[in-house]
Structure 1
Amino acid sequence: MENMNKMSIIFVGMLTAGVANADYPTKSITMVIPYSAGGGTDVLARNLQPALEESLGEDIIVSNKPGGGGILGFTEVANADPDGYTVTIPNNVIFATEGMGNATYTYSDFDYLGNVLNDDYVVAVSDESEWDSWEELADEMRNNPGEVTFGFSGAGGSTHVASEILADTAEYEAKQVPHDGSSDAVAAALGGHIDVLLLNLADLSSGLKSGDLRLLATLGSETLEDYPDVPTMQELGHDISLSNWRGVAAPAGVDDEVKEAWSAALEKATNDPKVREAIAAQGGEVDFMPSGEKLDARMADLAESFINTAEKIK
């Protein structure tokens, strides 16, 4: 009888734990944004926030933790409890910082809960810039190596790696200048402290709308829908095609119930007209993919490409 009672208690305990997991979430969730407020990742988080809160039934607390080109914020998430209550919005920088040897984590330290969008890397200048086209800028950089300053988000980050890949492919030399987040890089360009920006299109949305920034080229494989006169690097004769992704990730080891809850919430959010409109307004393209083997395989392929490239230039 005593053994039966013990077994009953164990069974009830297991059942209760299962119910608790199935009821996720039961408290507010912190979404760590490893960049300053106002950048593309921050804007995406705040556009997703209402839809995610409605789906998950709990508050999403957006917490900006800039520093190290994303490393500080991503490190905080990688070291958090894998209970689904601390998440982040990663991108190619996860792989780039690992390849550069700057990160205190590996890409496998995260569980990828869903992809949200794709976003091209682009080259932009202040509206007051002397260069009206990529060809003019490229000529300047080839004639005066190391004189033109290229700004991006974070040393060893994805935009840094993309900038180095572009310089190698287009055969020019520029001075690479990292910033703590895309909004800081944009502010530096508008203030005349750097000459050129290489960021994601979403990072430049506000400056492009105001006319304070101008696009010279996109590193994506297709012409930008809202900027049809901006050439691709391939059209300019350079064999390069680079774009970024943004999704949601948690510390590795979260329960399947957590993954399923986030996948369902992200799918619903990316079908919300307001969210889709906001992503399109930033120049991004909705590309939802739920957690699972397909997304994990995609992350592995991207990791191999970016890590290998970053290791060559570090």
Structure 2
Amino acid sequence: MSNLTRRFFLQSTAAAGGGLLLPGLMSSSAEAAKFPSKAFTMYSAGKAGGGFDRASRNFAPEFERLTGQPFKPVFAPGAGGVLAATKLLTAKPDGHTVCYIAYSSMGVSIHVKKPPNFGYDSFAHIGTTYGGPLAIFVGKNSKITSIEQLVSESKKRRVTAGISGAREWYHVGGLIFNARTGANITYVPYGGGGPSRKAAASGESDAVMTGLFDASANYNVLRCLCIFAEKNPIPHTIQAPTMGDVYGKKAVNMWHPTGLTTSAEVKKKSPENFRYLVDTYRKAITAKVTRDRLIKSGFPPEALITWGPEEINERQRGFLEEVKKISF
């Protein structure tokens, strides 16, 4: 028997012996080979027909093609994503259950609502679909022409900025801006992003704190004063400075990314399954067919961000540090 043959024989015998000594146990690679073994359930923090629904419907076909499994959405809107998150975190942590959330909103909800059953470290983020930075707009006919003027005015008189809801993402973003600049802007909830932008356009409020891309339908009646990002992502459409351009080291970047997450228990107990989710989702979301679907359904190309777990966590870390300083 040659050395090569003898070595192969011994290795094979050892492998077989290991199987006999440990009946019923499977290697992690064998377990991973079985995944996915059934349909995926996606709990959505948004309502049917909303942005989360449109996004997931556009990437689902490619995700299903790559995994060979159905991708079933279940809508659980409300409480800033807490309801959907609760369903995710009480599901079996095998990787077949995911959740579509707005990462920043979830961080705000945890800080404000203090859910008893989970916290910041309860999630393992998979990847983004779309998102954009926070921005401050005024009406096109407003006498306020710069962010510096808005801040200065707020120190002399009552200046209001519309927000979609109290103690939510845009409200917290506004309070962070106040704390960083010394502004004294009063944030007024209007029960939705559309009404808050309409109030600024009409002059009912002095300004509006909203998403840069969320305001796209109102660009003709609003003027952007400041963008909370490293750089202006749409300089061909909006001419406005970033907070960094104006306030230097006082600046904070505030993005509102949305995408898939799962429970931290999945990553801990089934790391191979988690890595499969991350890699497969990235293939699905970056596929040309998916990108074309998203753009056709109304998502701006610049809003189609593809951050992985590391970038999501890094970007959220700095934002959450600011959130934790806010009290009501």
The 1:263/1:307 distance shift into structure 2, 3 A limit, reads closer
Q: How does 1:56-95 map to 2 (within 5 A)?
A: 56-90=67-101, 91-95=103-107
1:260 counterpart = 2:275: yes
Is the CA contact (8 Å cut-off) linking 2:135 and 2:226 kept in structure 1? yes
The 1:197/1:49 distance shift into structure 2, 3 A limit, reads farther
The 1:111/1:142 distance shift into structure 2, 3 A limit, reads same
1:19 Cα deviation after fit: 5.4
SS of residue paired to 1:253: helix
1:96 counterpart = 2:108: yes
Is the CA contact (8 Å cut-off) linking 1:39 and 1:203 kept in structure 2? no
Query: Could you tell me which amino acid in structure 1 is paired with residue 303 of structure 2?
Result: G
Report which stretch shifted further, 230-239 or 264-273. 230-239
Q: Distance in 1 between matches of 2:72 and 2:207?
A: 33
Is the CA contact (8 Å cut-off) linking 1:122 and 1:199 kept in structure 2? yes
Tell me the equivalent position of 1:248: 260
Q: How does 1:16-35 map to 2 (within 5 A)?
A: 21-35=32-46
1:224 counterpart = 2:233: yes
SS of residue paired to 2:77: coil
Tell me the equivalent position of 1:160: 171
Is the CA contact (8 Å cut-off) linking 1:219 and 1:241 kept in structure 2? yes
Structure 2: runs of 5 or more not aligned: 1-18
Query: What are the superposed Cα offsets for residues 43-76 of structure 1, whole Å, 9 maximum, x if unpaired?
Result: 4333322222222222223333222222222233
Q: Distance in 2 between matches of 1:37 and 1:202?
A: 20
SS of residue paired to 1:30: strand
SS of residue paired to 1:72: helix
Tell me the equivalent position of 2:122: 109
Query: What are the superposed Cα offsets for residues 202-258 of structure 1, whole Å, 9 maximum, x if unpaired?
Result: 4344x247x465533211121223435122122334631313233421122222232
Q: Distance in 1 between matches of 2:66 and 2:210?
A: 31
Tell me the equivalent position of 1:313: 326
Q: Distance in 1 between matches of 2:209 and 2:290?
A: 25
SS of residue paired to 2:86: helix
Query: Could you tell me which amino acid in structure 1 is paired with residue 193 of structure 2?
Result: A
SS of residue paired to 2:184: coil
Query: What are the superposed Cα offsets for residues 87-122 of structure 1, whole Å, 9 maximum, x if unpaired?
Result: 123412333333345334212111222345563222
Q: What's the C-alpha RMSD, in Å, of the aligned pairs?
A: 3.6
Query: Could you tell me which amino acid in structure 1 is paired with residue 105 of structure 2?
Result: V
1:306 Cα deviation after fit: 3.5
Q: Distance in 2 between matches of 1:31 and 1:212?
A: 37
Query: Could you tell me which amino acid in structure 2 is paired with residue 215 of structure 1?
Result: C
The 1:57/1:305 distance shift into structure 2, 3 A limit, reads same
- Bigger radius of gyration: 2
Is the CA contact (8 Å cut-off) linking 1:120 and 1:220 kept in structure 2? yes
Is the CA contact (8 Å cut-off) linking 1:152 and 1:178 kept in structure 2? yes
Q: Distance in 1 between matches of 2:50 and 2:206?
A: 19
1:189 counterpart = 2:197: yes
Tell me the equivalent position of 1:4: none
TM-score normalized by the length of structure 1: 0.75
Q: How does 1:38-49 map to 2 (within 5 A)?
A: 40-49=51-60
1:40 Cα deviation after fit: 4.8
Is the CA contact (8 Å cut-off) linking 2:112 and 2:167 kept in structure 1? no
Is the CA contact (8 Å cut-off) linking 2:130 and 2:304 kept in structure 1? yes
Q: How does 1:120-199 map to 2 (within 5 A)?
A: 120-125=133-138, 130=142, 133-135=145-147, 137-145=150-158, 147-152=159-164, 155-157=167-169, 159-177=170-188, 184-190=192-198, 196-199=207-210
Structure 1: runs of 5 or more not aligned: 1-6
Identity of aligned residues (%): 20
SS of residue paired to 2:193: helix
SS of residue paired to 1:312: coil
